[in-house]
Chains A and B, each alone.
Chain A
Amino acid sequence: MNNQPSTKWETVIGLEIHTQLKTKSKLFAATNTAYGASPNSQVSFLEAAIPGTLPVFNEKVLRYAIRFGLAVGAKVIAKESTFDRKNYFYPDSPKGYQITQLNHPIVEHGILVIKDDKGNDKTIRINRAHIEEDAGKSVHDKYAEYSGIDLNRCGTPLIEIVSEPDMSSAKEAVAYMKEIHTIVTHLGICDGNLQEGSFRCDANVSIRPVGQTELGTRTELKNINSFRFVEKAINLEVKRQIKLIESGGNVIQETRLYDADKNETRSMRSKEEANDYRYFPDPDLLPVVIDQAYIDNEKQYIPEFPVEKIARYTQELALKSDDANIIANDKPLSDYFDSLILLLKKAKATTAANMLLGEFSALLKSKEASVQDNNITIEQFSGLLESLAENKISHKIAKVVLEKMWGTNYSATSVIEKEGLAQVSDSGELESIVKEIINNNQSQFTAYKKGDMKMFNFFVGQVMKQTKGRANPAQVKSILEKS
């Protein structure tokens, strides 16, 4: 299937990402937020909208939202933010309104850099990130005559991250969404679990003739819960809009639902049917007033992000760009790598990266272990890298040592000693070994002397075989060359 939009048309996409915050308790009540509890077991009087109950703001949410703002370089982290009520009737929102931030959100005007379709940097503007409460869940397929309501999710804190319509392809939208995902998970403010709905996306999609500045009529695609579906849904919708306009129709402003099973988008409600939410400031909650010191205090919780890490790895540590990318985007791996390189003396960070991504990753795979639960300490690993740097062992042997250290307390040096794995660098010993091999393979030696370089590799191989890989390859080479 060709997903490339027609060249006459330009796609404009903006995303609204609902990020569930990883707080222990809800936005306005001390109710547990853990996912997967039995229905309605995590509901306080507030979430059930019992008369007389009042919301009390969970300060942790404020701090998490500020961290997000700092991470995206927001121009505005509001010293005074306010809560508004969005009024609508639905059983999974028992109060009859959602508490959100319309007029004075906590975060405004951030930016995010993604790679566009050509691999160039592209800046996506973030319009705002505001705090709001999640709704409960309606269950329509469980009972024949009734709908079920589970209020466990009701009141769970969210930040809704709203981008400007700065993305021009489904791929860019996915890149943006992934970047936001990386940020919120690296910040530790969201578990990032798309299946459980901790990270959900609505996409506003419109098209316009290439070169036109005015925006086309947009449709909103609701509730897309995987990176793959975002790409699919947007491409489907772009195609639908192009087909519609090219056949003389008009796009109407409406909310559409992406059906992953049928791979189609279909209309949920048009603008005319849309609710008038009658927003107004929530009189139960005071404005949230903070000072600069409060904001500054959150800076200590902002980790180094992959983009910054990649720059550091490539510029300061001379890692290959690909390697830097892989390590930087894997939080546990980069944590391990960063601690590891602090211990290195003679060994180079590039060697560390090579081994991490090569032998170490292979070993983890074979042991079905992850970086977090791996059995090799950074002390053991750095010892190994030092032995390698000091030419005590070859790269090949290093792999063996690594395997032998797995699950033990042995240091690299002790494994090398115990197992007799030290590299043979004694030139006398090596010379006699080489001599013996030449004697046993005279015809090959003649060929080598005549310039057959295949034979050179043959002799190196024989020496390695004889020494069980412990021979210093450089030395073997120079002895052979002199022979």
Chain B
Amino acid sequence: MNLHGIKQISAALHSKDISVQELHDIYTNRHAIHAEQLNCFINTTPELAKKQIKSSQALIDSNQANILTGIPIVHKDLFCTKDIKTTCASHMLENFVAPYDATIVENLNQAGMVTLAKANMDEFAMGSSNENSYFGAVKNPWDHNRVPGGSSGGSAALVAAGLSPIATGSDTGGSIRQPAALCGVTGIKPTYGRASRYGMVAFASSLDQAGVFARSAEDCTLILSQMCGFDPKDSTSAQVDNENFAINQNQSIKGLKVGVISEWMDLLPENIKLTTQQAINKLKDLGAELVEIELPTAHLAVSAYYVIASAECSSNLSRFDGIRYGQQCSNPKDLNDLYVRSRTEGFGEEVKRRIMVGTWALSAGFYDAYYRKAQKIRRLISEDFKNAFKNVDCIASPVSPEIAFEFNAKKDPVSMYQADVFTIPSSLAGLPCMSMPIGLVDNLPVGLQLIGKNLSESTILNVAHQYQQDTNFHNLVAEGYHE
């Protein structure tokens, strides 16, 4: 059975060549072999899956199914799933059972998708290597000694390993694109506000955005179209009509103006640069017109990001106080002791570091020097993109300055933060952006980032789709993970 792509799987389900249960079993059998070793799941959801298999099969049998009905999915463990543990990979929420479904989970459930598991991640989505999970790091299927990237490392790794065709993720400063690149899968973060944040445990509210991992841009398109849409429960939700992102799919990219940033290319090691240049040249071969652009303020993005994201996180994570749910210390002396010890025990090092940084940045006397200045940089970066998009339809750039690195390679947090140097600028501007596999360097995947104008997901998804129609990098599978 060829399980390549939602369209093929769905066709097999609809023609009754395979039942939803049989499809599910194929994946759970693979879980039995690979999941523990990769450590990509925090919890599996067999009881929910059982219910969803039954109801989705019923939809198929009564011809009420759509293309996503019966398709397996794994949710990053920061999306609330009703009556199921939602841990955010934190000791703080180790036993937290969400009392409701996140809007994006609800949207995907509505289509009849079958939930297999909750994916491992960096604690509260803070990290670029997945080493910050309370449940241990996820391994990169391409090399078990290396990180899958983060924070959505579990989602990227499990799709790369063929443990689910689809996984959701979230991206605040690169948390979908970077692991997608490092694991060799396609991942997209839509425009800020496209996917509802309701039910997604907040890290940095002004940046957090849900997205999706799949092998191909085509699959990402199908999922994204179902997942996104205006949600009255999220005040920052974009008030635009629901869109079928496949609208531009299969259009030639001939004449499309693709922006290239030489300054960024020059920051890459030679072998990654070469691969990236080849991918960009491929876009040219497909008819795109390459246009050199500049983002003069983008070099300040990482600093600004770590001020803004940390400031927001310091406030967003205040609710984890050990009182109503979550980790509570034993025998607190008084209220303050309860707060201090519950939070000290409940949070990991990186989360604590960012809470401290954010608290500092917002403190009286420092606000103007840090938070206000960072917001100013953020506005300038948005302007940079606006100016660039006067001349181009989308931008092609590197995703990560390096291929998957080894565990414990980055002990200095600042060097870890630099992993997001190419992904953070578009996050600050709230733009749609994605990563697609473009080949291997040292037998490890490299990705290309595509950044679109505000609300132009369909454009970048089509560029990726056209590229993938002509290449096979997105179908490369790590040794030992072939179906």
Contacts and interface: CB of A to CB of B under 8 A. Distances in A.
B482 interface: no
Interface stretch (A72-80, A187-195, A204-212, A276-284): A276-284
Contacts of B320: 51
Nearest to A46: B233
B315 A96 contact: yes
Interface stretch (A3-11, A52-60, A449-457, A460-468): A52-60
Nearest to A90: B335
Interface string A85-98: 10101010011110
Interface string A112-146: 00000000000000000000000000000000000
A55 B88 contact: no
Given A48-B324, A51-B96, A97 B235 contact: no
Interface of A: 45, 48-57, 85, 87, 89, 91, 94-97, 149, 276, 278-280, 283-286
Contacts of A91: 321, 323, 335
29 contacts: A49-B319, A50-B98, A50-B100, A51-B88, A52-B79, A52-B98, A52-B197, A52-B198, A54-B235, A55-B235, A87-B315, A87-B362, A89-B339, A91-B321, A91-B323, A91-B335, A94-B319, A94-B323, A96-B317, A276-B363, A278-B315, A278-B359, A278-B362, A278-B363, A278-B367, A280-B367, A284-B202, A284-B205, A285-B235
Given A89-B339, A278-B363, A283-B205, 4 more contacts: A56-B233, A97-B315, A279-B362, A283-B204
A286 B197 CA distance: 14
The list of the 4 closest CB pairs from A to B, nearest first, reads: A96-B318, A278-B362, A283-B206, A283-B205
Contact of A284 (B79, B235, B317, B339): B235
Contacts of A284: 202, 205, 235-236
Contacts of B324: 48-49, 94
Contact of B197 (A48, A54, A278): A54
Interface class of chain B by DSSP: loop
A156 B303 CA distance: 38
B88 A283 contact: no
A306 to B, nearest CB: 38
A49 B318 CA distance: 10
A435 to B, nearest CB: 88
A283 B197 CA distance: 12
Please indicate which of the listed interface residues B199, B234, B319, B367 has the most CB atoms of chain A within 10 Å of its own CB: B319
A52 B201 contact: yes
Give the interface size class of chain B: 35 or more
B315 A54 contact: no
B236 A286 contact: yes
B208 to A, nearest CB: 9
B315 A51 contact: no
Interface in B356-410: 359, 362-364, 367, 371
Contacts of A54: 197-198, 233-235
Nearest to B375: A281
A284 B323 CA distance: 23
B205 to A, nearest CB: 4
B419 interface: no
B463 interface: no
Interface in B196-239: 197-202, 204-206, 232-236
Given A49-B324, A52-B199, A283-B205, A96 B319 contact: yes
Contacts of B311: 280
A204 B367 CA distance: 27
B151 interface: no
Contacts of B93: 51
Contacts of A52: 79-80, 86, 98, 100, 102, 197-202
Contacts of B197: 52, 54
A45 B99 contact: yes
Contact of B318 (A95, A276, A283): A95
Contacts of B206: 283
Interface string B319-333: 111011100000000
A57 B235 CA distance: 8
Contacts of B88: 51
A477 B371 CA distance: 88
A427 to B, nearest CB: 80
Nearest to B326: A51
Contacts of A57: 235
Contacts of A53: 198-199
A50 B318 contact: no
A56 B232 contact: yes
Contacts of B367: 278-280
B280 to A, nearest CB: 34
Contacts of B102: 52
Please indicate which of the listed interface residues A51, A97, A285 has the most CB atoms of chain B within 10 Å of its own CB: A51
Contact of B100 (A45, A96, A97, A286): A45
Contacts of A96: 315, 317-319, 321
Contacts of B363: 276, 278
B201 A51 contact: yes
B312 interface: yes
B311 to A, nearest CB: 6
Contacts of A49: 319, 324
Nearest to B358: A278
Please indicate which of the listed interface residues A94, A149, A278 has the most CB atoms of chain B within 10 Å of its own CB: A278
A48 to B, nearest CB: 6
A45 B96 CA distance: 14
